[in-house]
Amino acid sequence: MDNIIHKEIQYFRKTAWLFFVIPFWIFIVASSVYGLYSQFVLKIPFGVLHSDAMLLFTTFLSVTVVTLLLIIFLVGRLEVIVTEGGLYYRYVPFFNKFRLIKPIEIRHYETRIYKPLREFGGWGIRYNIKQKTNCYNVRGNLGLYIELKNGKRILFGSQDPHKLKFAIDKLTGENK
């Protein structure tokens, strides 16, 4: 990558949220593991209702899937880097390799306030069929909308879209 003009990394996780969710999931997973161990290894029925094996297995499987999603949520991040060579972005863990938008590809760009739930159905990697716009966001309702010369439209959520726009101004040599 060339000289960095602007760099923004946004994470899903918030510290206060983690203090509630992680202990809860640890408790649920530990209870499921103990229930399976008690039922299958020790041959002692688990719980008052003596749950059958299929119910315990289903519970454990569900908790495992949700825990994996939680881990993805914890490591997930949006990285947007503007250099002299273009705008690089990636959304870890969904695509780890940086994608590049070259200055010559940009037709129009502007900061905007958007409604993540109404326009895109939430946060993350989203697509609005009516607007034909890809959206990469983590939280908030501020972003930088970019329209490319090939017709592709992208909205990057940003905690400071004006700094991002200023970096694109420098990149494209424009002062809008």
1-176, CATH topology level: PH-domain like (2.30.29)
What is the C-alpha separation between 78 and 12, in angstroms, rounded? 9
Helical (H) or strand (E) element with 35: helix 15-36
**In b/e form, how buried is each residue of 111-140, taking b as 16+ CB within 10 angstroms?**
beebebeebbeebbebebeeeebbbbbbee
13-69 pLDDT, tens per residue?
A: 666 666 777 787 788 778 877 877 887 788 777 666 656 667 667 777 877 887 787
Burial group, residue 60, by CB count within 10 angstroms (0-12, 13-18, 19+): middle
- Amino acid, single-letter form, for residue 144: L
Confidence (pTM): 0.76
37, two tokens = 């161990």
For the stretch 98-145, pLDDT in tens is 999 999 999 999 999 999 999 999 888 999 999 999 999 998 999 999
Domain positions in the chain: 1-176
